[in-house]
Amino acid sequence: ANDGGMHNTKEMEMMRRTKRHPQYKQAQQCLEHKKKKDTTTTTTTTTTKQIVVADVMAGVGPFAIPLTSQYNNVTVHANDLNPTSFHYLKLNSQINHCNNNNILDNNKGDDDDEEQRLKMYNMDGRAFVRHLEEKQIVYHHVIMNLPANAIEFLDVFRGWKPPPLPSEKEEEEEGMYPMIHVHCFASKEEEVGKSEALARIETALQCKLDTSTEDNEVYVHIVRDVSPKN
């Protein structure tokens, strides 16, 4: 887990394409919004547009592995601070053939290798986002799947601006901002939970968010119930 300084290492799970991971459906859903806009096809043979994802708290790869092993048009920059999680992320990448060549022993990925669909990093979450910014890497989606405190890491996006794009792409994507998917724990009462999550996000970003209009593209919804069962 990427928790800003403390490692919470739990039992790890090896992930193979022959057995879909429980979060595989969630990984697919992360692309739904972008697919509707870009009419991206997810076949393994032809694609109309490349999608780049920044997975800030990737763990062992429940999102990054399915996205890069199942879709040829998706590149994921996957990061986790926990060295044990990072080790199994690399191993899962190899098992699931996420890259066309051997995985790297680099803790900061290989930003310039276009053949690497899954680029893996072993960094603090905020440092990872700043690293992508310094490298002027354009990404369309951000996944922050550390429910206990992922929202706190949103402060790294205060005042964030998209990196400059190559001249041939400026007309197509100028001013593009990524869709950020951030997970958190909240009340099981749906409306209360939504209000709690939105308030915490506003605090982290230091700005108000309006969910009443689609123009702002702010959506709060329940992913799943994780409360203890009797």
- Tokens for 132, please give them: 């992508």
Which two three-digit tokens encode residue 32?
Answer: 């739904």
**Predicted TM-score of the model (pTM):** 0.74
Residues 6 or more apart whose Cβ sits within 8 Å of residue 112: none
For residues 66 and 21, is the Cβ–Cβ distance under 8 A? yes
The position carrying tokens 């409360």 is 227
Phi and psi angles of residue 74, each rounded to the nearest 5 degrees, phi first: -115, 130
- pLDDT tens across the length of the chain (230 residues): 444 444 554 554 555 554 444 444 444 444 444 443 343 334 334 446 889 999 999 999 999 999 999 998 999 999 999 999 999 999 999 999 998 644 444 565 556 666 789 999 999 999 999 999 999 999 999 999 999 999 999 999 998 887 776 655 544 554 578 999 999 998 888 889 889 999 999 999 998 887 777 766 788 887 777 655 65
Cα torsion 211, 212, 214, 215: sign: negative
Answer left, alpha or beta for residue 164, where phi above 0 means left and psi between -120 and 50 means alpha.
beta
Strand order across the beta sheet in which 179-182 lies: 118-121, 74-79, 51-55, 141-144, 179-182
Nearest-angstrom CA–CA distance, 220 and 215: 15
Whole-number pLDDT of residue 14? 53
3 state DSSP class of 72: coil
- Tokens 């206990």 correspond to 148
Cite the DSSP H helix spans in 135-228. 167-173, 190-205
Query: Per residue in 51-67, is it b (16+ CB within 10 Å) or e — as a string?
Result: bbbbbbbbbbbbbbbbb
DSSP per-residue string spanning 47-115? -SS-EEEEETT-TT-TTHHHHHHH-TTEEEEEE-S-HHHHHHHHHHHHHTT-SSSPPP--TB--TT-TT
pLDDT of res. 94: 92
